[in-house]
Structure 1
Amino acid sequence: MNTMTTPPSTKNLLDTAAANGSFKTFGKAVERAGISDTLRSAGPFTIFAPTDAAFDKLPAGKLEYLFKPENKEELVSLLNYHVVSGRELVADIATWKTAPTIHGQSAAVKLIDDKVSIDGALVTSADIGSSNGVIHGIDKVNIPTKL
């Protein structure tokens, strides 16, 4: 487990994401998926959270489709593909070849021009600390190949 250079926030991951202002759609998706309690639990978790702009890049109608109650399992699967167990800082993740997501499918990790990429999404804001983990904002919604 890594130690952070600055004390983590007293807010949990979801409250930290909400306070950031760039992760409103991610927060709504977590609520719709019913996994809020998990991400508010002791964890720790590392979340690669797509920004609102990343969600805007999804094909037309995809988000509305995922938000329908009958597609909840698919939404949970997609969100779990953005979560890794533990508190992992971007400097450590940069040394990985893959990220073992709680979804069960690993996501490829690459270093591109000194920026960490996970399954093709660039980390745009790194090491946002919280009481139960860390958030890394990414510029793309990653879709697992198996749901």
Structure 2
Amino acid sequence: MLKSMIRAAAVTTLVAAGSLAVAPAALAQDTMKSDTGAMAGDMPMVGGAPMDPQKTIPENASQADNLTTLVAAVKAAGLVETLSGDGPFTVFAPTNAAFEKLPAGTVDDLLKPENKDKLTKILTYHVVPAKATSEAAMQMIKDDGGAHTVKTVEGEPITLRMDGDNLVVIDASGNGAVVTQADVMQSNGVVHVIDTVLMPKM
């Protein structure tokens, strides 16, 4: 079993795989509803679409206008079924604008069948095998003196830091992605939208 992202000190916001994280009270009130379902007006919006906390990560992401490149990449890599599983997962989701920051032609090359392994490596570098809210992440950063390292599904670590009030994710090359929208709850995890594509060592 992959190492959990959260230590025992953060059990109030993250519990063992297969269980639900406890979100901040206000967030929980805004995003979680009873078994009868949630009304769109009560759901967080990503890319102009409501994110249903009772749906999986791929189901919600496919509705967001600003995540279409990510969704296409997940499909090309054959990861839809994986990310539809029980999880729990924490996904740092790059927007279309984040992918546009890459050198010209990079996305088109990654989507080619012959580059599926490379694409899978990059995408799984954005996934942590646990469910962590931003509150939990910030507490770990504080507890660890300003930086907390987390192992991704890809196998390599990412580093979480704070830049003022912003939660920042640092990749293997030292490049930082700012979390622009945190704590978008899903039935099998949580999504944090980021403004830069994270790159593992290739």
TM-score by structure 1 length? 0.94
After TM superposition, the runs of 4+ consecutive aligned structure 1 residues lying more than 3 A away are: none
> What SS is found at the alignment partner of 2:131?
coil
For 1:99 and 1:122, the matched residues in 2 are separated by 16
Listed as ranges, the gaps of 5+ residues in structure 1 are none
For 2:185 and 2:95, the matched residues in 1 are separated by 16
TM-score by structure 2 length? 0.69
Counterpart of 2:165 (choices 111, 114, 131) is 114
For 1:69 and 1:18, the matched residues in 2 are separated by 21
| Higher mean displacement: 92-101 or 27-36 | 92-101
Counterpart of 1:15 (choices 12, 35, 59) is 59
Counterpart of 1:124 (choices 161, 169, 180) is 180
Give the corresponding residue for 2:198: 142
Counterpart of 2:114 (choices 43, 49, 70) is 70
For 1:138 and 1:100, the matched residues in 2 are separated by 18
Counterpart of 1:34 (choices 74, 78, 90) is 78
| 1:100 Cα deviation after fit | 1.3
Identity of aligned residues (%): 38
| Higher mean displacement: 135-144 or 84-93 | 84-93
Number of aligned positions between the proteins: 146
For 2:110 and 2:135, the matched residues in 1 are separated by 32
| 1:20 Cα deviation after fit | 3.1
For 1:111 and 1:102, the matched residues in 2 are separated by 22
Listed as ranges, the gaps of 5+ residues in structure 2 are 1-14, 16-20, 33-51, 142-147, 171-175
Select the structure with the greater relative contact order (CA < 8 A; seq sep ≥ 6). Answer: 1
For 1:37 and 1:124, the matched residues in 2 are separated by 26
Aligned residue type for 2:181: S
For 1:56 and 1:99, the matched residues in 2 are separated by 26
Find out whether 1:57 has 2:76 as its counterpart.
no
Counterpart of 1:86 (choices 130, 142, 145) is 130
